[in-house]
Structure 1
Amino acid sequence: MGLLFAKLWSLFCNQEHKVIIVGLDNAGKTTILYQFLMNEVVHTSPTIGSNVEEIVVKNTHFLMWDIGGQESLRSSWNTYYSNTEFIILVVDSIDRERLAITREELYRMLAHEDLRKAAVLIFANKQDMKGCMTAAEISKYLTLSSIKDHPWHIQSCCALTGEGLCQGLEWMTSRIGVS
């Protein structure tokens, strides 16, 4: 009887949490998604549209939508916003020239009604590259400290090695059930 109860309980408690992974093209979104899924680097090409995968972390199910970041696709990001609990914004830490565009896209998303309750995880990717900006520099440039109505966390990472990715997922799982 205990095993049956445990199985039934897990069916009702393992709800999925919708996550959108966004960022400019070539930031490392798809590489991060497949690091989560397979713990290995997968050769990727630019995402046209989206990829979706279920990632399970300690019995927590995340339905992760990796959305293409090319300029022509960004205007359609809002079609993915409904029921989103987490935004993962992937920043290319060596792409200083386009950080202003990343900031514009971030604040446009945060102003959207469908994302008013979403928590934001920023991955400062490509920390293995010479001359990259630190997470603190990116945080300052994106003025993250001004975000008061969304829980947020910035995490240094390297999508190729997986370094820092688990810490980001741990932050997300710690946010579940917190309102």
Structure 2
Amino acid sequence: MFWNLGEQEELQSLWNKYYAKCHGIIYVIDSTDGERLSESKEAFEKVVLSEALDGILILVLANKQNVETCLSIPDIKTTFSDCTCKIGQQVCLPPACTALTGKGV
């Protein structure tokens, strides 16, 4: 079973209600929205700091890598770099992907 919990701040307060029976998290970053990348990082930090997710696998996907003006993986990793000390061994690196075509998914 999958849940799309949405990124809106008012919905983020509900995220922890879905963690209890969670087996994994797929966190999707919109590579074309550089203006909101810091917001995405803040939301991601809330996820990785949740005690309910200790030991839960987290996959980070950098979506929309097919768009010519998208942020590069190194740019995204730089923005999220100070999260690494909070992540521990839980998370793999963000692979480039395009949900539209399925490439990298």
TM class by smaller structure = 0.7 to 0.9
Asked if residue 108 in structure 1 is aligned to residue 46 in structure 2, the reply is yes
2:27 and 2:90 map into 1 onto residues whose CA distance is 13
The percent identity for this pair of structures is 35
* Aligned ranges 1:70-109 → 2 under 5 Å: 70-109=8-47
Answer yes or no: is 1:160 the counterpart of 2:100: yes
Where 1:154 maps in the other structure, the secondary structure is coil
Distance 1:114 1:120 in 2: 13
Unaligned runs of 5+ in 1: 1-62, 166-179
Number of residue pairs aligned between Structure 1 and Structure 2? 103
**What is the RMSD computed on CA atoms of the aligned residues?**
1.5
Report Cα offsets for 1:30-70 as digits up to 9, x if no partner. xxxxxxxxxxxxxxxxxxxxxxxxxxxxxxxxx22221222
Indicate conservation of the 8 Å contact 1:120/1:151, yes or no: yes
Runs of 4+ more than 4 Å apart: none
CA contact (8 A) 2:62 2:95 kept: yes
Asked if structure 2 preserves the Cα contact closer than 8 Å seen for 1:84 and 1:114, the reply is no
**What corresponds to 1:138 in structure 2?**
76
Equivalent runs, 1:117-132 vs 2, <5 Å: 117-132=55-70
- Structure having greater relative contact order (Cα 8 Å, sep ≥ 6): 2
